Structure 1
Amino acid sequence: MEVRLIDYSELGPIDYVIVEFVAGEHHIPAAMTRSLLDLVDRGIIRVLDLLIVTKSAAGDIAVTEVEDLGEASELGSLTGTLAEILAADDIDNVARAIRSGATAAVIVWENIGVASISASARLVSAQIVAQGRIPSRAIVATLQADRPMAD
């Protein structure tokens, strides 16, 4: 396993998703794995953490880390870049977000392209003073509201 060092002073914005799988599914679907690895391979994102969280019908929580998936998993290639930043409190929050009897993937990633903007700004003594995320649903709602009504 190759371990790549990350310069944490040059991180771009960090995002996460919690993806709850369909009932009875306990693994990241192949199409989702391919999409994630494609973004990594193209240098668009760097996965910082990835966990599989299962909540039993009784509310008990089981957590599987990428390293525990084994070498056969396509996601095994990510183990050298993981920063493992999710803590117990984060897992508790995930457990509250998913239904009993469900399994979900928690993926935390860095937007690598924006990291280069931050680094370039620092080279000229500038700094990013704010950053944020606009939910895509909000943009879609705004665009739909601004669209002229058909006659």
Structure 2
Amino acid sequence: MKDFEPRIIAFLCNWCSYAGADLAGVSRFQYPPNIRVIRVMCSGSVSPHHVLHAFQRGADGVLVAGCHIGDCHYLKGNYMTVKRVKFLEGLLQFAGYDSARLRLEWISAAEGIKFAEVVRDFTEKIKQLGPAPSFEAVPERALGA
């Protein structure tokens, strides 16, 4: 388990969180290289299907990050994100996953340090949880049987 390096998929809003990640890189803030970034125009465009697909394809954790509430470039995108993440947390628990494998954060373009801290903290949390169960190991009750 000590050799376990989690695979984390990060859906980052183009306008804020992606720019915060860019600032972290340009400023050379240190964070683990465990994340794979998917740049989206708005965190509100991340559907539950995208998150579940990431877990199906072997992700140990998924980070969704967007603009702070009230600062969304698409006005209400991050309000939709909050609803979707709450729905997904319940769905993941029902399927036998720890809902802590999904994390939602608000990171602005000026928060490179916060981005690095979130990635460090989330990576450490996923390391403690260990590898995500495969979808083959999901209880039958979660599959409707």
* TM-score, normalised by the number of residues in structure 1: 0.31
Higher strand proportion, which one?
A: 1
Greater helix percent: which structure? 2
TM-score using structure 2 length: 0.32
Of structures 1 and 2, the larger Rg is shown by 1
